[in-house]
Structure 1
């Protein structure tokens, strides 16, 4: 279902630390969030995104090449007439055209005050339309000369959300259920709206699909708040009138739906989602009944393109997926979704798991050289994972929002909900801890400021629960053995137990720094039977009596909110977190004396302050792994020989680049036995020189050169090292 990928080694910067550890950033997000995508056939397609990003695939989404684009404005929509001619547009009333398949783009002037472009559609090479918004108004514009000039067809006092055509028949949807139609492509009329049942607080229509000149479908708003079913409406007269298509209770979804595709008159798919993961429904009777289907994805899907049974979808966090059997099975095309990784667990030196927002789950079984991304799906939902805990290489648990706890016994391949999800947005599980595969605890909240602690003795088959112990939201739980445990929460609350959680006693806080009120405590760990460490908003706390009392550990310039803490033994530990307000900073605090003294080891050559650190975990051999925002992971682990000493080099050699395959950067390492004149060049497979990386005298020793291929297309390239001792060349693969 999901592909393997090389963890992308972004930086190799030595940072002073215990045992001379070197921190590296080992993953990088593949794509920004996808605004829109368009395929002209079952292999060739494009997507657009924020920041003026446009990428193209010619192999059904397996690889994507970033296209040089003349603007950094956010793009919202993309449409291609054929494999060569296409249009994209977005903010600041800008629309761009390509006539060579996206290799180059030219901005097209549009009438002033048109606003942001939200949709583009062309009937042929000359005739097209676009919808623009400039709150509180919207316009629909028309061109008959391939976009050279545009005229305004209609201005309405509503926000247009989507626009689509079948020939010259068009439909536009708005944020207030109001629909507009045209049968000649020129004159627009407001439709007769569908009548919604009572109880809807909004009526946004976010997606439309014109199947033939008469039959059209539209979808949109849905919400768990008040259990407002996702809206389905249908027109059989070209958009003149619309009918609400109510669904059976067992088929109702309660999320926003965004995009529609029909392969024939009866069979269609609608996809969207938000709160508990991706939502997909399918009809086999022309939209009368929409039945939920399972899709192993957790993000909101914004766009769809299809050819018969083949589907392509894109959405938040840069997620792209495809199906070749009309949604029965899906393949994740994105190597690293750009979503927050809230938790990380290094089970062995080679097996590391990390998980987080939208239930993203990433696994490596070779110490970070390669990895496998997927989404945790249980009970047909994928709520955000707030914490994970593995008792072995195969058995693990995840604490989710919406009260769910999921379990895997096959290393994350499949998951089962051992505590079912709810529809209550204020119910959430935040922390999980297991002593063995059967005995464990989960903490969270059952309402705002009402904590809960769940306990299982049979691996999640049954649970006992207690609530309102902290009188705040529970955030983390840990146990030293089957009796001694601590839970912490928001508003500076903690409690401890000495009988396995049968009874909990409120902790006492001593010697807090001046001005401390009620900061949130976000994580806690034992370092031995009596001593524990808790971390939270701008503070580290120490306990020497199993959590009964806590004392402040003074740390110079601790500005960050710390959310992760881990100890290798009674003395050596790390705490991590970030400050996300101005002035931003990164906290990577190390102690070698049991927490009495801490030093921030964050080196900003490696740690970007725009990246939030969430959790830290030790491997059995002492390597550290840190999970962060945007799908980013850091480690001190050594792989691919990247931590070799600079002494003892005895020959002239060229190593394999790492990572390989790469996107967009990789590192080339070569060794010289003596001072030499060196040239290091990159060629394509036809022998054409692409770039000269090094040309000149080099001292003896080990040398590293970074190669950036962001301006190149995916493919195989050759790098060649030439010295007086000879010539060595190797191949490397750029995969976008």
Structure 2
């Protein structure tokens, strides 16, 4: 197509006579491409912030890595670019192996206690993955195939029982459980052919010569907690093991193992030999090389950074080597030296981000465990380190493009920190807090009036921009995690054990509000003085419609469920929640219902912020910065609903078609019972744009056309109400 817009496709079916012909109309919408992807995408780090637990190199250009939160990434250009692939799961993936260029397998944890472990398969070089069915209700740790059909998976077992070994000979269509004779979890597996193989667990290795029908355990070491992480054999006699505190070698097929490096505090995770003399091994943040079969080892790289990174997996194809590890680090070796292929705006340090604030689509700040504050002027595509000396900062708030505050922790036996800027962050000055209790949150309603809350019930207030802070009595010793004020008088605070405090006099008096949920609460948002939300541990969402006199549970779970860490709204209808394990939810009906959105990471997300109903960011662990310019949604062209010739069974507002559109679109809705019906169009500010239907409707399916010729391009919302039913859909107008 030469231009953007909606195109009509018509299909006519006829037997040759006009009377019997039938025409079906459909639509194709061509959208102007943008510089940013649809949905949520990562701005930092590259390619992912997730811990990578396994890497398999297919050839000099192609590698696949798996890891935290269901992460699968792939390169086909020697690491210059990486694609984030859809695994279909959010569990940790622990190992990946390709017996051929096209067919690969990945294994991981079980989604919940008592459910089967995760096994995935691809037949298109990793571009798409399908889940395979197994009956073992434990985490799966390792996988190895000798061809596309025959392979083994190892994993955990019941306490005091043997670890898991299962085998397939038909590409994973069915699995046979084998007796491993090794207690506890098994993390490593390697086979030379269909008969000879090895598995490794805690302090033991077991070998088989009959394809796993029988396994003979061998004691590797008498040291406790010596977990076997990886096994490699060059032939039936010569092999190596990477274990917790040492590397081991065998020359007799695994009957006797000898430590080839002294036991140490190093935690060895991976080993690879290209021949009998040349090999590499990784331990924590280091890679070693030997050219004499393991008699001597030379350190090749020691990763920088406070606390160091952990290298989890190392693999080679010919002379090209790779390793991957925690926080998404990826390095490549093509000339004897290691070069980083991953990147981050935070060099040489661990970077858990805690909060962010934007004043418009371009200008924003992020804070966290980075001992600094960072600013962007281009919507997050680049970040500038701010001037100042900072401790860990947990929260940041701005009232305009110039005036902002940030709060956090301080050194031992010193005041907790409050920082202030009047020039958009070019310079930050420290304000006197007068307390050693760290701060979790800060909220200002103008350049003078603000509150900071934190440890042990601490609430501070200022009426002069922070030049002077005074303590207010909270009446509680709970940790206070968030504070929100609507004006100089009305505010709320939430914290541990379900504590919710409310004030109507600027904090002179705080009263505790009734809440039957005692989970820790981490974030609050109020749409007005009556309608508000609080979120917290164990997928807790609380809602009030009377200013907090009563709080109702929308969702709550158990200790195994992730925490919801932050909630925000862009307007009365559109809101988002982020949480642990990459959790990301959205609502388009003011919080009545919440749905999950696709997220490119599985790390914990700590804060979310939107400047309008389409543009927002989220931040979290390992320096993760996510952005969306499409409200987190991936727009698709929605076609006309299939016609039904029976009365509808339920109220329904169908997606408009075409969508996106210009300038007209059709809205279809179903009425199962007679009711007063309203169809109303709103803009992103919540202002009514058009009333399309306002009348009593009998049961049936109806449609109405909206002509948007007089309104500008953008996102609009159509809302249907009928009796107690209410539903909202998003519409995109492109001119």
TM-score, normalisation: structure 2: 0.63
The alignment status of 1:294 with 2:342, answered yes or no, reads yes
After the TM superposition, which residues 256-655 of structure 1 pair with which residues of structure 2 at under 5 Å, given as runs? 256-265=310-319, 267-273=320-326, 277-286=327-336, 289-295=337-343, 377-379=345-347, 383-418=351-386, 428-447=392-411, 451-466=416-431, 469-509=434-474, 512=475, 516=476, 518-537=477-496, 538-547=498-507, 549-578=508-537, 580=538, 586-593=540-547, 595=548, 597-603=549-555, 610-637=561-588
- Deviation readout 1:454-474 (Å, 9 max, x if unpaired): 223333333222466431121
Name the residue aligned to 1:50: 109
Q: In structure 2, how many angstroms separate the alpha carbons of the residues matched to 1:237 and 1:188? A: 20
**SS of corresponding position for 1:522:** strand
Alignment partners' CA distance in 1, 2:342 and 2:462: 41
Cα distance in 1, alignment partners of residues 179 and 441 from structure 2: 55
Q: Does 1:164 align with 2:232?
A: yes
Q: Show the 5 A alignment for 1:181-260.
A: 181-193=249-261, 202-221=265-284, 230-239=285-294, 241-245=295-299, 247=301, 254-260=308-314
Tell me the CA shift for residue 80 of structure 1: 1.3
Equivalent residue number for residue 179 of structure 1: 247
Cα distance in structure 2, aligned partners of 1:587 and 1:573: 11
Residue 150 (str. 1) matches residue 215 (str. 2): yes
Q: Deviations over 1:376-413 (max 9, x none)?
A: x5446662222222212233322222334333444344
Give the 3-state SS of the residue equivalent to 1:630 in structure 2. Answer: helix
Distance 1:293 1:28 in 2: 22
Q: C-alpha offsets along residues 17-69 of structure 1, whole Å, 9 cap, x if unaligned?
A: xxxxxxxxxx9983300111112334432110112110112233332111111
Q: Which residue of 1 aligns with 2:67?
A: none
Size of the aligned set, in residue pairs, is 518
Residues 619 and 291 (structure 1 numbering): CA distance in 2 closer, same or farther, change over 3 Å? same
Distance 1:45 1:3 in 2: 28
Stretch of structure 1 that moved more, 439-448 or 608-617? 608-617
Closer, same or farther in 2 for the Cα pair 1:624/1:445, shift >3 Å? Answer: same
CA distance in 2: counterparts of 1:609 and 1:82, whole angstroms:
38
Contact 1:672-1:699 at 8 Å conserved across structures: no
Q: Aligned-pair distance for 1:607? A: 11
Taking the aligned partners of 1:81 and 1:284, their CA distance within structure 2 comes to 27
Give SS of 2:356's match.
strand
The CA distance in 1 between the partners of 2:300 and 2:389, in whole Å, is 24
Partner of 1:34 in structure 2? 93
Report the CA distance shift for 1:29/1:530 in structure 2 as closer, same or farther (over 3 A). Answer: farther
Is 1:99 the counterpart of 2:158? The answer is: no
Distance in structure 2 (CA, Å) of the matches to 1:635 and 1:607: 21
In 1, Cα distance between equivalents of 2:519 and 2:525:
17
**How far apart in 2 are the matches of 1:575 and 1:389?**
19
Deviations 1:258-300 (A, max 9, x none): 11123344x4332222xxx3333444543xx54544346xxxx
- Structure 2 residue aligned with 1:654: none
Q: What CA deviation, in whole Å up to 9, does each residue of 1:196-251 have, x standing for no partner?
A: 7xxxxx32111212222211111123xxxxxxxx2332222223x24251657979
SS at match of 2:582: coil
Any idea what SS the aligned residue of 2:315 has? Answer: strand
Please give the root-mean-square deviation of Cα atoms over the aligned residues, in Å. Answer: 3.9
Matches of 1:53 and 1:378, distance apart in 2: 33
Please tell me whether the aligned partners of residues 563 and 614 of structure 1 are also in contact (alpha carbons under 8 angstroms).
Answer: yes
Q: Kindly tell me: are residues 5 and 482 of structure 1, through their superposed partners in 2, closer, same or farther at Cα, counting changes over 3 Å?
A: closer
1:130 aligns with 2:184: no
Gaps of at least 5 residues in structure 1 are: 8-26, 197-201, 222-229, 297-376, 644-658, 663-667, 679-697, 703-724, 726-736
Q: Distance in 2 between matches of 1:475 and 1:588?
A: 20
**Aligned counterpart for 1:87 among listed residues 134, 149, 152:** 152
Question: When the two structures are superposed, what TM-score results if normalisation uses the length of structure 1?
Answer: 0.63
Which stretches in structure 2 are left out of the alignment for 5+ residues? 1-34, 42-85, 111-116, 158-162, 595-632, 651-669, 675-700, 702-735
Larger radius of gyration: 2
State how far apart, in whole Å, the 2-side matches of 1:28 and 1:528 are. Answer: 46
1:685-700 equivalent positions in 2, closer than 5 A: none
The structural deviation recorded for 1:609 is: 8.4
Q: CA deviation at 1:493?
A: 0.7
CA deviation string 1:559-603 (max 9, x = no partner)? 23221112223443222223x5xxxx834131434x4x1321415
Measured in 1, the distance between the counterparts of 2:441 and 2:88 equals: 28
Q: How far 1:674 sits from its partner (Å)?
A: 4.0
SS at match of 1:84: coil
